[in-house]
Structure 1
Amino acid sequence: MIEFERLHHVSIAVRDLEKARQFYSELLQFQEIERPPFKSKGIWYAVGNQQLHLLEHTQGETLRNGQIDSVDGHFAIWVKSYKGTIEWLEKAGIPYEARPQSVAGFAQIYILDVDNNIIEFDSAYDS
């Protein structure tokens, strides 16, 4: 049996690494971390104790074209405040889909990055 310790990272494909950097580093203010000198282009971020890896991939089946579909592949980040996250997204001009009374038992907010990758923010509902 495999003895799991923790989720280390999630990797997503992006079409244009610099546009993705503007979104994740500048707009969302994720913390960039050092990335080994792979032959591929990419950026790594620290997200709590885990990592998000962006990999530039200009073609392929993993690139999405659609809108928010919570059944499609996505990653989720637990945030401290539902209300504070909504306010911040509105101030930043980032469109979102909010599900404050989700059947999951916690509030959910969905956004799309510049490549239509789905990001979910979860929290306790704090009206």
Structure 2
Amino acid sequence: MQIIQCLHAAILVSDLERAEHFYGKVLGLYKIDRTLKFPGAWYQVGEFQIHLIVADISSDMVDSQKLGRNRHLAFSVANLDAAKEQIINNNCPVQMSASGRAALFTQDPDGNIIELSQV
């Protein structure tokens, strides 16, 4: 087997409207049409998709002190300072990378961890 491309990541959310605000407005991702009938929303990021799926969820946080040591989704950003300002302006948590690299971690309204790195 040779895996040639990552197609999408499914993220479980409890409140679709709140999640769409975070992924669409706070992170600025592009929402795309979907034909499936169950509640959710799809976002396109280059050749990759984020699939928000409504579900009854609970936290599976392993380390609340170092968010990067938990399951997370990582995005590259052009300007980490601008990204940090936007995250803070939307009252979302910010934790800078403990490694000292140009990266931060935040959480969506359901506690899913998002890494933003300047590369």
* Counterparts of residues 1-127 of structure 1 (less than 5 Å): 2-38=1-37, 40-59=38-57, 63-64=58-59, 66=61, 67=64, 69-99=67-97, 102=99, 106-124=101-119
1:9 CA drift (Å): 0.4
What secondary structure does 1:70 align onto? Answer: helix
Between stretches 108-117 and 63-72, larger displacement belongs to 63-72
What secondary structure does 2:44 align onto? Answer: strand
| Structure 1: runs of 5 or more not aligned | none
Q: Deviation per CA, 1:21-67, whole angstroms, max 9, x where unpaired? A: 122122222110011223x21100011220000000024xxx32654
1:94 CA drift (Å): 2.5
What secondary structure does 2:49 align onto? Answer: strand
Distance 1:6 1:47 in 2: 13
Distance 1:111 1:14 in 2: 15
Distance 1:50 1:22 in 2: 19
Distance 2:74 2:49 in 1: 12
Identity of aligned residues (%): 28
1:5 CA drift (Å): 1.5
Equivalent residues of 2:67, 2:95 under 8 A apart: no
What secondary structure does 2:5 align onto? Answer: coil
Give the letter for the 2:95 counterpart.
Answer: E
Equivalent residues of 1:65, 1:116 under 8 A apart: no
TM-score by length of 2: 0.83
How many residue pairs were aligned? 116
1:87 CA drift (Å): 2.6
